[in-house]
Amino acid sequence: MRKVCLIRHGHPAFPLGAHVCLGRTDTPLGPLGRMQAVTLAEALRGESFDTVFSSPLVRCRETAAPLGKGPRLVDALAEQDMGPWDGLDFSEIRARWPELYARRASEPLLVPPGAEPLAEVQRRVIPALERCVRESEGDIAVVAHASVIQALLADIERIPLEESRPLRPPYTGCVFLAWNGGFSPEVHSFSPCAPLTPTLAEKLLRAAAPGERVEAHCRAVAKEALRIARALPSTLDEKLLHAAALLHDAARGEAQHAACGAAWLRELGYGPAAALVERHHDWESGPLDEAAVLFLADKLIREDERVGLEARFAESESRCTTAEARAAHARRLKAARELKNRIDTACGYEVVV
């Protein structure tokens, strides 16, 4: 019996939480989506796919790329064409088509004139998936879209399309099917979440692509964080600290980068690391734990050079152009000085310069 793994693509290049009607609009993966693709490949490392098939749209091709084999593109696996709504934010759709949009509450399959009905999607994707199986050997992976997978599973599980929306997987969600001359109605779904090791964190940092200078800074902060942690008499979770330090500035360039980076990590399933990343920029008080060490290590590194606390804050003060920014800078400096003293006292010698 063969396995068929249906995979939804990763998060496209729009902000986390945005609600966009994304059909045939050919949007690439955003930073979070690229990180999801890396985590997906890590979680599926134990699987051996003879062939990887993909929708021709770029967000699916990019999700398939880390699986290790160049995907075979199948035009019939493309997402549902949403016509005049395609690529628009749902708030704009609601404003421009208020009556039609309101009807969707009681008519879930309703689409605007010129769009592709879900029943048409189902009619083209069922034979397309069967061709993928018949034109390959062994287990296969198929990277496609929410509506495509919804339509396929509705047919396989004999669920009316009107009741099938819960079958849509999350970004990079996987559904395993069994094939033995036909698809088994027994399916197994899961959201990939490989253990967050420093090695995986390094891959995720590169996938986020904050730039070479930021990546070098993250590696230097990780090294400094481990140095401080190993000097402390208490035992910290070095693996967690190392991974979080590598990823602490993965969202550099985004608004509120600490909060944004933490949101990405939570979406990936890495809550403990997210909690550290969220506090790395503006830690105020608490125990001498991983969050405290990451905060202080970040304040000792300029670019990828260890410069010390006072020099680092003197350099960053010049960029504070408002009273609010200067107050935040002073608050962080005070917290860093107090933290340095606590660490030096706990260790019995000057650990932090």
pLDDT, tens digit (0-9, with 9 covering 90-100), for 1-35: 899 999 999 999 998 889 999 999 999 999 999 99
Average pLDDT on 308-337 reads: 81
Helix (H, G, I), strand (E, B) or coil at 55: coil
DSSP percent split of the chain into helix, strand, coil, nearest 5:
50, 10, 35
Q: Would you say domain 2-190 falls under CATH 3.40.50.1240? A: yes
* Confidence label for 66 from pLDDT (cuts 50, 70 and 90): very high
Task: Please check the confidence at residue 318 and state whether its pLDDT lies above 80.
Answer: no
Q: Which amino acid is it at 210?
A: P
Q: Which range is least confidently modeled, 119-133, 170-184, 247-261, 323-337?
A: 323-337
Domain limits, CATH 3.40.50.1240, in the chain: 2-190
Task: Please check the confidence at residue 77 and state whether its pLDDT lies above 80.
Answer: yes
243-254 confidence digits (pLDDT tens): 999 999 999 989
What confidence score (pLDDT) does residue 107 get? 94
Q: What residue has token string 């609010």? A: 324
312 or 36, which is more confident?
A: 36
Average pLDDT on 44-73 reads: 94
What confidence score (pLDDT) does residue 211 get? 96
By CB atoms closer than 10 A (0-12, 13-18, 19+), residue 105 is exposed
The answer to whether the beta carbons of residues 210 and 250 sit under 8 Å apart is: yes
Eight-class DSSP state of 85: G
Other Cβ atoms within 10 Å of 27 Cβ, number: 17
71 or 327, which is more confident?
A: 71
% residues pLDDT > 90 (the chain):
78
* Confidence label for 286 from pLDDT (cuts 50, 70 and 90): confident
Task: Please check the confidence at residue 233 and state whether its pLDDT lies above 80.
Answer: yes
* Confidence label for 328 from pLDDT (cuts 50, 70 and 90): confident
DSSP 206-231: HHH---HHHHHHHHHHHHHHHHHHHH
Distance CA 235, CA 243 (A): 16
Task: Please check the confidence at residue 69 and state whether its pLDDT lies above 80.
Answer: no
Average pLDDT over the chain, rounded to an integer: 93
87-122 confidence digits (pLDDT tens): 999 999 999 999 999 999 899 999 999 999 999 999
Q: Which range is least confidently modeled, 85-99, 234-248, 271-285, 314-328?
A: 314-328
The answer to whether the beta carbons of residues 185 and 158 sit under 8 Å apart is: yes
What confidence score (pLDDT) does residue 222 get? 98
What confidence score (pLDDT) does residue 118 get? 98
What confidence score (pLDDT) does residue 327 get? 80
What confidence score (pLDDT) does residue 219 get? 98
What confidence score (pLDDT) does residue 22 get? 95
Average pLDDT on 271-278 reads: 97
Task: Please check the confidence at residue 197 and state whether its pLDDT lies above 90.
Answer: yes
What confidence score (pLDDT) does residue 267 get? 96
Task: Please check the confidence at residue 320 and state whether its pLDDT lies above 80.
Answer: no
Eight-class DSSP state of 12: B
Q: What residue has token string 């399959």? A: 109
Distance CA 324, CA 310 (A): 20
Domain limits, CATH 1.10.3210.10, in the chain: 198-347
Q: How far is CA 142 from the centre of its chain?
A: 20
Task: Please check the confidence at residue 172 and state whether its pLDDT lies above 90.
Answer: yes
Average pLDDT on 176-188 reads: 87
Average pLDDT on 309-334 reads: 80
Distance CA 47, CA 303 (A): 39
Q: CATH assignment of 198-347? A: 1.10.3210.10
